Amino acid sequence: MNKSELNRIFESFSDYNILIIGDVMVDAYAWGKVDRISPEAPVPIFSCSSRENRLGGAANVALNIKSLGANPILCSVIGDDDRGKDFIKLLSEIQQDQSGIVTCSNRRTTVKTRFISNNQHVIRIDEEDTHELADETEISFIKHVVNLMDNQDIHAIVFEDYDKGLITRELIETVTDKAKQMNIPILVDPKKRHYSDYKNVTLFKPNFKEFVEGSNLTLEKGDIDGLFRAAKQFQREMGVDKLMITLSELGVFISNETAFEHIPAVVRKIADVSGAGDTVISVATLCLTAGMNSADIAAISNLAGGIVCEIPVVVPIDKEQLLAESLKLYAEA
């Protein structure tokens, strides 16, 4: 891929509307320091100096999609609570459309609070409900998503599954069937509960642990040939066009069933892996929508995941930095 092609593809991102369906949350941060042990118990005392709220989960995918220049349409359910109001405020601050957000009185808004001292996580506290949506809420939400698909020009759909209960088998089947009828590509960032329900999708992106556990495999991460054999079987059984598996320090693997590519990781100083998966699926979505081949999708997504890992908080990818590093990568190829 030459410089002009890469620039054209990155410019084309602004033409796309991406429907994101998934669990959203508030990523809360408490910044401070630990310099002594409590006299009450053998635990560290965290002296908090500041706090911050950020968009998390599927909302971080929306933030990445927006940062790359495309238009995210975020669909999820939040609680009718103070944290839900915090979440809506965060959406308003980035001028994100809220038409896909449904409020539910019998669920809590998910919050993950990270306590950070000297750029290191000390502890994380999760506040959440993980049971699946009540029947009436599920039915209402599915109708809401279908209505958006009927009334918006959608170029790709992302299922961002954090296993918090929003995504159900009925939701997956309804949206997938309708998307196939409308010729809309579907990309999935899965979790274990509904791992086997994502049939006939365009791109399926587990990490290595999720793939091995979800497929009941005994496989070493560095066994790329063995991974390809397992990938081919999985794709045949599930009807998956492209299987992209993130391998952390070993990079990214992608298979289209007949061939595979293994893209090694770029050596970086890793500060925080939180949110890297969100970035990878976001970049992969836009690259696929723009018509890139499997190898290029994996290579650029791999770069993006590494970039955000250098920062000690969850942040969206910087489009200009990603383009600059992508241009450098292809110039060296």
Of 124, 72, 125, 83, nearest to 107 (Cα)? 83
Mean pLDDT by 10 residues, the chain (333 residues): 89 97 95 95 95 93 95 97 96 93 94 91 94 94 96 97 95 97 97 94 96 90 93 96 92 91 73 70 96 94 82 74 88 71
**Strand order of the sheet with strand 186-189?**
101-104, 71-79, 17-22, 156-160, 186-189, 203-204, 242-246, 252-255, 260-263
In this structure, is residue 123 part of a structural domain? no
Tens digits of residue pLDDT in 275-316: 678 999 999 999 999 999 999 999 999 989 888 776 656 678
pTM for this prediction: 0.92
What is the structure's pLDDT at 257?
Answer: 83
Backbone angles phi, psi at 171, to 5 degrees: -60, -45
What is the structure's pLDDT at 268?
Answer: 53
Helix (H, G, I), strand (E, B) or coil at 325: helix
What is the structure's pLDDT at 277?
Answer: 83
In this structure, is residue 48 part of a structural domain? no
Decide if 34 contacts 45 (C-beta within 8 A).
yes
In this structure, is residue 209 part of a structural domain? yes
Give the total number of structural domains in the chain.
1
Task: Give the domain CATH number at 160.
Answer: 3.40.1190.20
Residue 129 annotated among the catalytic residues of the structure: no
What is the structure's pLDDT at 329?
Answer: 84
In this structure, is residue 35 part of a structural domain? no
Tens digits of residue pLDDT in 239-277: 999 999 999 888 899 999 889 999 887 765 554 455 678
Domain that holds residue 208: 3-26+56-108+130-332
Query: How many residues are present in the chain?
Result: 333
In this structure, is residue 155 part of a structural domain? yes
Catalytic choice (27, 161, 197, 278): 278
In this structure, is residue 62 part of a structural domain? yes
What is the structure's pLDDT at 330?
Answer: 83
In this structure, is residue 271 part of a structural domain? yes
In this structure, is residue 39 part of a structural domain? no
What is the structure's pLDDT at 314?
Answer: 62
What is the structure's pLDDT at 35?
Answer: 92
